[in-house]
Structure 1
Amino acid sequence: MTRRINKVAVIGSGIMGSGIACHFANIGVEVLLLDIVPRELTEKEQAKGLTLENPVVRNRIVNDNLTSALKSKPSPIYHQKFANRIQTGNLEDDLHKISGVDWIIEVVVERLDIKKKVFEQIEKHRKPGTLITSNTSGIPISFMNEGRSEDFQKHFAVTHFFNPPRYLKLFEVVPGPDCSQEVTDFLMSYGEKFLGKTSVLAKDTPAFIGNRIGIFGIQSLFHQVKEMGLTVEEVDKLTGPVIGRPKSATFRTVDVVGLDTLVHVANGLYENCPEDEAHGLFKLPGFIETMMENKWLGSKTGQGFYKKVKSDDGKSDILSLDLDTMEYRTKKKVSFPTLELTKTIDKPIDRFKVLTGGKDKAGEFYRKNFSALFAYVQNRIPEISDELYRIDDAMKAGFGWDNGPFEIWDAIGVEKGIELMKAEGYETASWITEMTEGGNSSFYTVKDGATFYYDIPAKKQVKKPGQDAFIILDNIRKSNEVWKNSGVVVEDLGDGILNCEFQSKMNTIGGDVLAGLNKAIDLAEKDFQGLVIGNQGANFSVGANIGMIFMMAVEQEYDELNMAIKMFQDTMMRMRYSSIPTISAPHGMTLGGGCELSLHADKIVAAAETYIGLVEFGVGVIPGGGGSKEMALRASDLFRKDDVELNVLREHFLTIGMAKVSTSAYEAYDLNILQKGKDVVVVNKDRQIAEAKKHALLLAEAGYTKPIKRTDVKVLGKQALGMFLVGTDAMYAGKYISDHDKKIANKLAYVMAGGDLSEAGYVSEQYLLDIEREAFLSLCTERKTLERIQHMLKTGKPLRN
């Protein structure tokens, strides 16, 4: 049976319900979002003389919830216009409309009696064969299944999204006791392919996989922090990016999620897992109970483990909670010798051996922390999952960990992990002993570009399923390496397509990266069919190496700087005018030079979560790697007879002048950075490199021909330049921009107008590149530009001067 999802109904419009509705709208699905009818009027409604029968009143709850979600930041939706795909209604007037949907998702309050009533009403209107799932994370499916029809039970499962549904990738699928295999397989596949998730098959156990392990980890820390006399700041320093976890680490994450949410799940685990060997850890420590009594729940109540206050001079300050006195105090600076030892180790996975070997308090913390985690996860098999990789996948996708527990254990060494556990008094699970005695020294291995995991029943390494749709660069880098330098690795993706992977810090673009990119084009033109520029780091590229630019400018090495900028421009033009198709695969932050590179590819295959823009104004310059030229060219391509050409050019000027960055790949179409009909968006980032390879092949096999260099870019000369200069004068007079902002804007205006030509005319790309480079260099001689670059290098934030 081929099952297609054209329309879904989401029952319940709270934070999760609205978020799920928005994410289905993100992927082009029509959504019916329903909630209850209000029981009483608001003061405003009374003042207007409305009644409870008024349609606006009857849909007030659902409409208010959706409006609130759409206004929230970060946004739950890729593009505000996608909200048009969501139709709202209420459970009394509109429930009959669910007869026309393909999937019904229940997201009402976590109470069995309420869910049962909702399911009873749904059964009256649901057409046979329609998928029906619940987003519950705490109620056993067998209880929700009771009294339902055979067809309902056959199509019923839990589909547990993590909040926020757009950003967190975990999608736990828990089939009901009578759910058909076809439905389970479909949900797993749909989550990966369409929703862009990591689908994890879980068992009907309390909190499933992600929250069971995640809440254990946090509760274990809560008890450990008091035992070791650690501060809130120290724990967040130790459990953040240094071990491949989000910046918000532990306590800041709890503040964002809400302490009450965490306590609800922890209490549920304490009540429902009496046989769990770590049962006592789910009991809340005293300081958490005090915080709950005081309603210090985090961001939602203005204070939690951290509290934002304003000092007498009006500046904001962040205080942290002293867990001994339960009073807020100024944050303390944190440093540990063990952390210093990891500063030269780029990848978190390579740091764990050093961290657990530390001789200070940090080393002791990691030994205690990881031994407790290893001991816990080993005992959850087969209780919550039969396969160890599902536990790792759940923690990476649901909690933003770079590496799952068994991957970390592998990095430390299986035997070393057993040693750590024994030192802390934990026993080794029998399957681990059996594994090591059978000659298996790791949980994972990589063979022929694929990941294999230790299968416990088979007592051997077997291939992890579902990899065929992915290309994992970590798995193929060694075996498929064609060429490398300090900045890039060029890999053979197969079928005649190469990949150029950046390896610099934050994937910045400097001389080594440009040399590597040129070499990749050489290799592709000689022996291959196409080139993908893609990586699987946190971000595609944060732009050019501004540290190098700063040093050259300070030393007044302007000839060298001119050559460096020309090399960047020439490389971008080489990408555009090579004899093979070039595909850029941006994701995450794609800023400045990273954006310029993408603008010059034959095609962009962007991840949906791509934040792309030309942000050079923030460091006091204009885009100098072809970005200013390219926006002038793209504006020129949009000029139409009888249109006001100045308006089109102004929009492209403002994209650079306001340093606009898209909050999704779909917003990049509005900026003309991605182009409709040419560039494509991939929702599942794991599939991006494979998808980019497909597009490179398609272009190659369709008979790709080297493009002819452009000499027909229409520029408007003095007419446009005059308009821009008047605009920047007005902005400066109104104190919207500084004197230096005005100077940068006027330089950009000169480039995008094509200079001060007396009338509109046609110029070549090279002409625009030359005046772009000249403008860039002149700005690098300005003291205020150097101040901006220095400030960015020191703080990571732009300076307004």
Structure 2
Amino acid sequence: MSIHSSRAGQPRHIRKVAVCGAGVMGAQIAAHCVNAGLPVVLFDLSSKEGDRTAIARKAVAQLARLKPAPLGSPELADAIVPANYDDDMALLADCDLVIEAIAERLDWKHDLYRKLAPHVAEGAILASNTSGLPIRSLAEALPAALRERFCGVHFFNPPRYMPLVELIPTQETRPELLDHLETFLVSTLGKGVVRAKDTPNFIGNRIGVFGILSVMAQARAFGLPYELVDELTGTRLGRAKSGTFRTADVVGLDTLAHVVRTMQDQLPDDPFHALYRVPEVVEALIAKGALGQKTGAGFYRKEGKAILRLDPDSGSYVPADARIDDAVAATLAQRDPAARLSALRESSHPQAQFVWALLRDSFHYAAVHLADIADTARQADQAMRWGFGHAAGSFELWQAAGWRQVAQWIQDDIAAGRTLSDAPLPEWVMRGPVWERQGVHVAEGSWNAGEGRFEPASDLPVYERQFGAPLLFGESRGQEGVVVHETDAIRCWTLPEPHPQDVLIVSFKTKMHTLGPDVVRGIAQAVDLAESDYAAMVIGHVDDPFSAGADLKAMLPAFQSGGAAAVEPMEREMQEMALRLRYAQVPVVAALAGLALGGGCELAVHCARRVAHFETYIGLVEAGIGVVPGAGGLTFGARRAAELRAQAAPDAPLTAFLKRFVTAAATAQVSASALDARRIGYLRDEDMVVMNRHEVLPAAAQQARALAQLGWRPPLPARFPVAGRDAIATFKAQLVNMQAGGFISAHDFTVAERIVHVICGGDVDPGSLVDEAWILRLEREAFLWLLGQPRTQERIESVLKTGKPVRN
């Protein structure tokens, strides 16, 4: 039995993946698997001449050029082995999951399955990444023994960033296999899994594409231009910033048309079938080769810096300058869902009527089709959250605005002929448990329309590892964390059982979790509490980000009243906080997710360990606002470079190990992922990277407890060598060349020069031994001096006003 083998009847542990189809989607699925640490074989057709794996090899090379980046770090591409179907089928023998991701042609997929079937390992899973073909029809080409290990697994594009994966079984798929695959997708790949019924376009695309068609139809009916529709259907409506028409351009109008035609062909009896037509304007754009972003033109076209939008009447592109009405904007900004929806419905303004119409359409459609496409309303709403970036699903919005009232409004509109279909609302909407409980999401679960009952969320063990997953409106979480100490700035609490009870969690209550004076003092108080009453401590939050850095607004009044000298105590306090974490008598673990910038990065690197969500973007960004990192960030870089040299090559020049920290700080570099942060040096090899955001806090608590149980002791303060004046001269020469080449501005040079001076230990001999206090003093001096410079003040003022620094 090989190490990949499973016990009789049990799925194999998924340790290696094969992806068949090296198109954009298949290659990006392969990329995300290697992001998660899994080796991958990427198959495609064999080339007729030269390198027979050239197609797959080219697809791997192309990954480095795609935006947004599919790979967390470029060198991960080396873990993808290119292969072809003619020569390399033996490579499937040790693959535990085989994902087919070729073009949406049933005959092509059947041909491939016949090739794959003899080589798929016993116990391995075969899955199709189809966006809408019937899974039962795909399974017909497989031998009976493989059908029970076959299912659909629909990733949304781009696979690295889109949470949703739909899992679609056939009647023959073994239930334990689905549980095994769901666990893998959730924990190993970090996805939000929705189990869908085997119906055309499943759940996400079925509801989402209907929504797009509804928006297009209603926009035409109300005569609204595309840019206005995108503003109305973007963040104001709790949806993706790009709105509807820009999203269509990004997805590709040909791709959109393909999904629409699938619905048109496969759903002839659907009561909304009349809407399942590719809109004429889309057909016309496709005919001209204007497929959206990938061809440079679609509903929008960029000319220089100007964004133009299509005028459908003339076929030409015109300025995109229509704006939302102030009164409608005010209505959409109302916090009360019931008041907002009522105001939209009662308004006579076309923009408000448009928004009510598309929301009503989404409610109507979701209710009519719930029993057909999903087991529960939870799956339908999660699909829209995870697959289309909606802040809330259709059922959530309906329930929040008042189930009974909205249901009556929909009925009235159906009777008046204002809806896209005359199909009545299902009986369960207007009577029975949903009507009585006034919604589909209640404490004990979500409505299963097929079985006529409320059904609890999945109880798979993988979900017990999570904490803080957002609830749907109407749901309840059960046991919450226990708060043990709280101020206006911080909250100290513990996770509920079964998570560790002897680990203190510290969370910030500030906007973007910035580090103001009260937070800094609160962290020190939390360490005191942890040392007194707990085994370990974690700094982290249920929501993102970890920390956007120091609170500039809190620092500004002191600077304005007393100049740089008045800021010095605050700066010193930040440094003392960093050292307090480093030398705490209990292990402190940073639970990182989202942004960890500036002071947030400095806080994290001084903890005993870090547990980071894969999508963590960490960096010392102070140079961008014209100052140096001043809370121990440069001290960390100087000390860490000395440690790395001592471990790897004690006789090597210190500059070789210092360079990456100098470059990162001087250029305000932010990691592209947690793995990239490890490359830069902000994370260490022993720091854990977690793929699912909701596992970060529990994993950090487990890590902190493990360190405590293993007898963790803080490091002893020690002196370390610095690079000194010779390295300063070397780095400065490089900066001179960068300024001469126009890569950095005059003030960039000034800031970088100060960074180099500090991190090299100042004007001392190479190899001089210094302590942390020495570098921290240099940090403070450089920070305060730069704070007094007019160009730095100009940058800070710009950031506070616009969110972006000027380049001066």
Alignment of 1:423-442 (within 5 A): 423-425=412-414, 427-435=424-432, 439-442=436-439
Aligned residue among 772, 786, 800 for 1:793: 800
Contact (CA 8 Å) 1:356, 1:366: kept in 2 or not? no
Which digits, 9 at most, give the CA deviation of each residue in 1:524-553, with x for residues without a partner?
334333332222434333222234445554
Contact (CA 8 Å) 1:352, 1:408: kept in 2 or not? no
Using the alignment, how far apart are the partners of 1:675 and 1:339 within structure 2?
51
- The letter for the 1-side match of 2:217 is H
Counterpart of 2:473? none
Aligned residue among 731, 738, 753 for 1:731: 738
Using the alignment, how far apart are the partners of 1:200 and 1:597 within structure 2?
37
- The letter for the 2-side match of 1:116 is H
SS in 2 for 1:380: helix
Counterpart of 1:493? 495
Confirm whether residue 657 of structure 1 aligns to residue 666 of structure 2.
yes
Aligned residue among 242, 251, 254 for 1:248: 242
Counterpart of 2:543? 537
Contact (CA 8 Å) 2:11, 2:123: kept in 1 or not? no
Confirm whether residue 776 of structure 1 aligns to residue 783 of structure 2.
yes
Using the alignment, how far apart are the partners of 1:436 and 1:743 within structure 2?
69
Counterpart of 1:186? 180
Contact (CA 8 Å) 1:606, 1:682: kept in 2 or not? yes
SS in 2 for 1:639: helix
Contact (CA 8 Å) 1:129, 1:151: kept in 2 or not? no
Counterpart of 2:361? 372
Counterpart of 2:695? 687
- The letter for the 1-side match of 2:662 is F
SS in 2 for 1:730: helix
Using the alignment, how far apart are the partners of 1:455 and 1:497 within structure 2?
39
CA RMSD of aligned residues (A): 2.7
Counterpart of 1:49? none
Contact (CA 8 Å) 2:239, 2:390: kept in 1 or not? yes
Aligned residue among 628, 635, 638 for 1:629: 635
Confirm whether residue 696 of structure 1 aligns to residue 696 of structure 2.
no
SS in 2 for 1:237: helix
SS in 2 for 1:799: coil
Using the alignment, how far apart are the partners of 1:726 and 1:299 within structure 2?
42
Confirm whether residue 278 of structure 1 aligns to residue 284 of structure 2.
no
Which digits, 9 at most, give the CA deviation of each residue in 1:19-58, with x for residues without a partner?
112222222222221211345xxxxxxxxxxxx3x3x1x3
Contact (CA 8 Å) 1:435, 1:459: kept in 2 or not? no
Change (3 A) 1:758 1:104: closer
Alignment of 1:504-523 (within 5 A): 504-523=510-529
- The letter for the 1-side match of 2:513 is N
Counterpart of 1:80? 74
Contact (CA 8 Å) 1:141, 1:177: kept in 2 or not? no
- The letter for the 2-side match of 1:385 is A
Contact (CA 8 Å) 2:565, 2:784: kept in 1 or not? no
Using the alignment, how far apart are the partners of 1:593 and 1:352 within structure 2?
41
- Mean alpha-carbon deviation: is it higher for 767-776 or for 729-738? 729-738
Aligned residue among 592, 600, 605 for 2:606: 600
Counterpart of 2:221? 227
SS in 2 for 1:415: helix
| Unpaired segments ≥5 residues, structure 1 | 40-51, 311-315
Aligned length: 772
- CA positional deviation for 1:302: 0.6
Counterpart of 1:357? 343
- CA positional deviation for 1:779: 0.8
SS in 2 for 1:4: coil
Change (3 A) 1:765 1:147: closer
Counterpart of 2:772? 765
Counterpart of 1:332? 321
Using the alignment, how far apart are the partners of 2:483 and 2:140 within structure 1?
56
Using the alignment, how far apart are the partners of 1:473 and 1:487 within structure 2?
23
Counterpart of 1:171? 165
Using the alignment, how far apart are the partners of 2:611 and 2:257 within structure 1?
42
Using the alignment, how far apart are the partners of 1:353 and 1:7 within structure 2?
52
Which digits, 9 at most, give the CA deviation of each residue in 1:461-502, with x for residues without a partner?
635534322111765897633444454443321412232333
- The letter for the 1-side match of 2:459 is P
Alignment of 1:99-114 (within 5 A): 99-114=93-108
- CA positional deviation for 1:418: 2.2
Using the alignment, how far apart are the partners of 2:338 and 2:484 within structure 1?
30
Change (3 A) 1:501 1:281: farther
Which digits, 9 at most, give the CA deviation of each residue in 1:378-424, with x for residues without a partner?
22222111111111222222222232222333332323432442453
Using the alignment, how far apart are the partners of 1:71 and 1:24 within structure 2?
18
Using the alignment, how far apart are the partners of 2:478 and 2:606 within structure 1?
27
Counterpart of 1:43? none
Contact (CA 8 Å) 1:453, 1:464: kept in 2 or not? no
Using the alignment, how far apart are the partners of 1:772 and 1:343 within structure 2?
47
Change (3 A) 1:735 1:12: closer
Counterpart of 2:678? 669
- The letter for the 2-side match of 1:659 is A
Using the alignment, how far apart are the partners of 1:262 and 1:13 within structure 2?
21
- CA positional deviation for 1:772: 0.8
Change (3 A) 1:486 1:368: farther
- Mean alpha-carbon deviation: is it higher for 744-753 or for 464-473? 464-473
SS in 2 for 1:587: strand
| Unpaired segments ≥5 residues, structure 2 | 1-9, 471-476
Which digits, 9 at most, give the CA deviation of each residue in 1:233-280, with x for residues without a partner?
222222223333232222222111101111110111122112322222
- The letter for the 1-side match of 2:69 is S
Aligned residue among 10, 22, 25 for 1:13: 22
- The letter for the 2-side match of 1:721 is I
- The letter for the 2-side match of 1:742 is F
Aligned residue among 110, 115, 130 for 1:116: 110
Using the alignment, how far apart are the partners of 2:140 and 2:434 within structure 1?
46
Which digits, 9 at most, give the CA deviation of each residue in 1:549-597, with x for residues without a partner?
4555455543432233223222222222333322211122222222112
Aligned residue among 715, 718, 721 for 2:725: 718
SS in 1 for 2:160: coil
Contact (CA 8 Å) 1:542, 1:591: kept in 2 or not? yes
Using the alignment, how far apart are the partners of 2:396 and 2:490 within structure 1?
25
- CA positional deviation for 1:435: 4.9
Using the alignment, how far apart are the partners of 1:542 and 1:357 within structure 2?
37
Which digits, 9 at most, give the CA deviation of each residue in 1:259-314, with x for residues without a partner?
1111110111122112322222222333222222222211111111221112xxxx
**TM-score computed with the length of structure 2 as normaliser:** 0.89
Alignment of 1:282-293 (within 5 A): 282-293=276-287
Counterpart of 1:453? 446
Which digits, 9 at most, give the CA deviation of each residue in 1:608-627, with x for residues without a partner?
11111111111111111221
Change (3 A) 1:505 1:398: same
**TM-score computed with the length of structure 1 as normaliser:** 0.90
Contact (CA 8 Å) 1:355, 1:366: kept in 2 or not? no
Aligned residue among 388, 402, 406 for 2:395: 406
Aligned residue among 539, 545, 552 for 1:546: 552
Confirm whether residue 26 of structure 1 aligns to residue 26 of structure 2.
no
Which digits, 9 at most, give the CA deviation of each residue in 1:617-645, with x for residues without a partner?
11111111221221112112123321111
SS in 2 for 1:571: helix
Using the alignment, how far apart are the partners of 1:325 and 1:595 within structure 2?
53
Contact (CA 8 Å) 1:355, 1:363: kept in 2 or not? no
SS in 2 for 1:424: helix
